[in-house]
Amino acid sequence: MHLPDRNRKIEMILLPHLPILWVLLSKEHLISYIGASAGMRSAGTISLLLRTLLILIYIVNACLLHIMPYRDKCRSSVRIRIMYGGHLIIRFCLWGLLFQLVILLLRLPFRLAPTDVAWPVVLLADGIFAAVHFYLLILNGYLRILCTCRSIGIWKRVLFLCFLWIPVLHLFFAKYLSRRACEEFDAERCRFENRLARTDSQICATRYPLLMLHGIGFRDLRYFNYWGRIPKELVRNGAVVYYGHQEAWGTIEENAEIIRRKILEVLEENHCDKVNIIAHSKGGLDARYLISALHMEDQVASLTTISTPHQGSELLNLLNRLPDNIYHFVSSLFDRSFSRFGDQHPDCYHASKQLSPEFCREFNAKYPDSPEVYYQSYASVLKRPLGDDLLSIPHLLMNLSGASRNDGLVTEGSAKWGTFKKTFISTGRRGISHGDMIDLKREDYKGFDVIEAYVGIVAELREMGF
């Protein structure tokens, strides 16, 4: 996409100062340029024409600035165009406000016009006019981004709406929103360019279908995909994707049986003999039990685990300190809630206990990997406790317990299993959380594209013959 041309910048700087331009185009001022011999009538006619032209230009360009037209070579969605237009509006407004300060500091009107003009009054009128002009434009850009930018959480939207009405302070929030919109636009543009480069390449067309397994506390719901935007991009690039549909609070044993039945359905439907499993969090333990305990190694070609607590989660050591009756009570609340979402046998108490380091040590010893299956793993790391709103408290608790380099629920070391490939981490201050690895918030982060990460994982499986 292209930014508006240079003329748009000039218009943004000059048009807010309509009162000053109006005075400079007065017949008294013009007569000094056209000469006294031309007479007051000629100067008055020219002044009227120029002032009429000035008002027309202002009205037209003010409308264009609010619409913020620009050429779109990426054929982006309406949401992206609205959002990026908001970024452009805010950016040019900030430059226009800076130029307004320059005008006041350098006293430019005094240098351009006769001294008999009441410039203090004109400058006051100009300042009020420019403030209203910029405020309406910033309000436009502000609301555009708040309504369309996916990388801004709900509580931030509420906070920004509250500060929108406070003069000066709202400019700092507008700058922040503009930056977030620009980052999301850049990610979308890179994604578009990648899709364009991969046209008809089918780089995710693996030999065996993909079966994606969710983690604890979630289900593969119809209206809220656990994996966010990831499956759609994989299918776009040739992958055949299925979901495990195991229970949110089912134990490893119960979920593994559900997955086993799903694999048999997939094999029959696709007339193949194996599947590739991509599992997130506890889904990786479900898959390992499926392979080793239920003897499905001949039906599974590869297992890719994402942020799976193979060595357990230190967070369970903290939760296990709770009195058992309280733990049972809280677990029963989860069971009753998720039974409404489709869980047939929710067992939050035992399912969560199966993520403890003690249980995982016994699990690993009892169910070794099958030599018939290719195992690989990935991890992610949050850089600071406030990096993720949802996992800030768990991340802080894990850090205090000595579990450094974690994603809010699982440490980097615990996520390593089989062939460890990579730890995902953004270039920004935030890092990548446990939820970011499944595109939970549908957000884009600086230096990390979760969709491209999965495309790379699946493309590599294809290259390896899986």
List CB contacts of 112: < 8 A, sequence separation 6 or more. 24
The CB density around residue 380, as the number of other CB atoms within 10 Å, is 28
What is the dihedral angle through the alpha carbons of 35, 41, 46, 52, rounded to the nearest 10 degrees?
150
Tell me the sheet residues that pair with 300.
275
Ordered domains of the chain (ranges, CATH): 6-194 (no CATH), 200-463 (3.40.50.1820)
pLDDT at 270: 93
Helices 169-197, 78-106: crossing angle, 10 deg rounding? 140
What is the DSSP track for 221-244? -SSS-TTTTHHHHHHHTT--EEE-
With a cut of 70, list the residues of the chain below it in pLDDT. 1-15, 27-41, 68-76, 103-104, 106-119, 196-197, 222-223
Check if the beta carbon of residue 274 is closer than 8 Å to that of residue 371: no
Maximum distance among all Cα pairs of the chain, rounded to whole angstroms: 106
pLDDT in tens, 175-220: 888 888 888 887 777 777 777 667 777 899 999 999 999 999 888 8
pLDDT at 1: 39
The phi and psi torsions of 344 (rounded to 5 degrees) equal -85, -35
Output the six-digit token pair for 373: 């299956």
* Nearest Cα to Cα of residue 393 among 360, 433, 358: 433
- From CA 415, how far away is CA 376, in angstroms rounded? 10
Check if the beta carbon of residue 365 is closer than 8 Å to that of residue 372: no
Check if the beta carbon of residue 349 is closer than 8 Å to that of residue 328: yes
Output the six-digit token pair for 167: 């003069």
pLDDT at 3: 40
pLDDT in tens, 404-424: 889 989 999 999 999 999 999
Helix (H, G, I), strand (E, B) or coil at 63: helix
The helix or strand, by DSSP H or E, that contains position 355, with its residue range, turns out to be: none
